[in-house]
A and B are shown apart, each in its own frame.
Chain A
Amino acid sequence: MNHRAIRAIYLFEMARTWRTLLQSIVSPVVSTSLYFVVFGAAIGSRISQVEGVSYGTFIVPGLIMLSVLTQSIANASFGIYFPKFTGTIYEILSAPISYFEIVLGYVGAAATKSIILGLIILATAGLFVPLHIHHPVWMLAFLVLTAVTFSLFGFIIGIWADGFEKLQMIPMLVVTPLTFLGGSFYSIDMLPPTWRTVALLNPVVYLISGFRWSFYEIADVSVSVSIGMTAAFLVVCLAIIWWIFRTGYRLKN
């Protein structure tokens, strides 16, 4: 294992984060605060409670997940797409490192960044609404699992994309709608039965449900199903990345 190479890639990617601190950390925090103002205070004041929790408190896990998902994808896809775009990828490909080590460096840094962001948003939320986390260890476990899985997903998008447009396309057209329809701002029990069934096809529902359970012990689906679905998505992403490196897809051809 070439751990010096993993370290070099990881620190290089993290250095990019610190260099662009304003857009990486500050802007998601500002936009989350706006969600609290709009949904929590303005709309939430007209909704009494959801499953025994005040509306403002109810949306906290969903909001964190919303940011963690989008930021994981954005960080990882940009992290690997940018060297492809500038051509500096030649150095990574010609270095004595395995594909696994490359993924570990890039995905590790992308996931670290979104986990830090998730925790900052959690702290920000604490300023607006009272928070009590029933299962902090599970909360962290869900956070890490989600960040890693979606960073892997972002890595795949970054390899696949051959232009900035494509880089934006999947997050804009697929991920954001899935997150909004995944129960960030409501319980899917509030949906009519048909739509509830449709919602269960959305993988994000399981993430948010599990994550919310770790906070308030309320969930749309059972916790084991949540973990199972997230793990399944993780395995699918790993399989695709394995295939990418094995065939050299969009990297070595």
Chain B
Amino acid sequence: MSSIISVANLSKTYGSGFKALKNVNLDIKRGEIFALLGPNGAGKTTLISIICGIANPSEGRVLVGGEDIQTSYRKARSLIGLVPQELHTDAFESVWATVSFSRGLFGKPKNPAHIEKILKDLSLWDKKDNKIITLSGGMKRRVMIAKALSHEPQILFLDEPTAGVDVELRKGMWEVVRTLQQSGVTIILTTHYIEEAEEMADRIGVINKGEIVLVEDKTTLMQKLGKKRLTLHLQGKLGALPDGLAQYELDLCDGGATLVYDYDTKGERTGITSLLSDLRAAGIRFNDLDTTQSSLEDIFVDLVRTS
């Protein structure tokens, strides 16, 4: 797959001297859903703002669809739809007027059929004549998505699209995003909800303190960095762990009824075989066992802590 966005050696230093981005290099593949994860203040929004033309870069170069965002900004920007993090809307305009305005702003001829389709897809059709101020937060968020899609962009940036949106609506929005991807739109989303990235993304990038710490396929990432947890459900309760098992750093939980062992799938040895034989030697028996893969959230917290 070819790159639709190519960021090279990008840095941004604000007037206050704060370095929001430090030599960022990133390629987004055409047609993928890319999730950008990072704690607050990591530089996610700054990166998006520069690609979309809202902020000036201090150094570096960004190509969108092969067009330089500074020298060929018209072509580059016309490919992008942006849904910012904050709910920035005109209060007194109608939904229809504000979405049509966005289309005009991007230089596209009027196309009521297209606007109608977007509003219907986003369940906003029956609100098309309502003033935006009368809409709920979730609806306003969808109006912003409708505005971003009004000019038929090839790339859609969703900056925290489901912040403050209830679970049902969030799932509805995931559906919208998937449908968009199927129609060929490349999607870059930033999120605080790890489950969202886990659910949606093809690839994941982690940004911390203005630097891209990691970019990886989601599945590879989870395999590569994933820790597993072995839980043993004991036949009888244990008061304390025998000294012979100290090397395994086991946790005794549920009042002594379960033993929990964390191991690294990347390690040369998982230690499971020797643990099990040592348990038998110590006369500890169990009824059942299960293993669980650590979530992306655990991986993320680990990465941010160590970077």
Contacts and interface: CB of A to CB of B under 8 A. Distances in A.
Contacts of A96: 73-78, 106-107
Given A94-B53, A94-B77, A94-B80, A87 B107 contact: no
B84 to A, nearest CB: 5
Contacts of A248: 55-56
Interface stretch (A6-14, A37-45, A175-183): A6-14
A253 B55 CA distance: 6
A80 to B, nearest CB: 14
Contacts of B52: 90, 93-94
Nearest to A12: B101
Contacts of A97: 74, 105, 107
A91 B54 CA distance: 8
A132 B82 CA distance: 55
Given A2-B74, A94-B77, A253-B14, A19 B92 contact: yes
Contacts of B107: 2, 4-5, 95-97
A95 B90 contact: no
A116 B67 CA distance: 43
Interface residues of A, number: 24
A90 B88 contact: yes
A194 interface: no
A174 to B, nearest CB: 27
The B interface is mostly helix, strand or loop, or mixed, namely loop
B255 interface: no
Given A86-B90, A94-B82, A96-B78, A252 B101 contact: no
B89 A95 contact: no
Contacts of A252: 54-56
A92 B77 CA distance: 11
B72 to A, nearest CB: 10
B105 A5 contact: yes
B15 interface: yes
A96 B78 CA distance: 6
Nearest to A105: B105
Contacts of A2: 74, 107
Contacts of B106: 5, 95-96
B147 A93 contact: no
B244 interface: no
Interface string B3-21: 0000000000011000000
Contacts of A90: 52, 54, 82, 84, 88
Given A8-B101, A86-B90, A253-B14, A91 B147 contact: yes
Contacts of A86: 88-91
Q: How large is the interface on B (under 10, 10 to 19, 20 to 34, 35 or more residues)?
A: 20 to 34
B56 A253 contact: yes
B88 A4 contact: no
Interface in B69-122: 73-78, 80, 82, 84, 86, 88-93, 97, 101-102, 104-109
The A interface is mostly helix, strand or loop, or mixed, namely helix
Contact of A8 (B53, B84, B105, B147): B105
A94 B82 CA distance: 8
A224 interface: no
A5 B73 CA distance: 15
Given A88-B88, A94-B77, A4 B55 contact: no
Contacts of A95: 77, 105-107
Interface of A: 2, 4-5, 7-9, 12, 15, 19, 86-88, 90-98, 248, 252-253
23 contacts: A2-B107, A4-B107, A4-B109, A5-B106, A5-B107, A7-B104, A8-B101, A86-B88, A86-B91, A90-B84, A91-B82, A91-B102, A92-B105, A95-B105, A95-B106, A96-B75, A97-B107, A248-B55, A252-B55, A253-B14, A253-B15, A253-B55, A253-B56
Given A86-B90, A97-B107, 17 more contacts: A4-B105, A5-B106, A5-B107, A7-B104, A12-B93, A86-B89, A88-B88, A90-B54, A93-B52, A93-B53, A94-B52, A94-B53, A94-B77, A94-B82, A96-B74, A248-B56, A253-B55
> Which 5 A/B pairs are nearest by Cβ-Cβ distance?
A8-B104, A87-B88, A96-B74, A96-B77, A94-B52
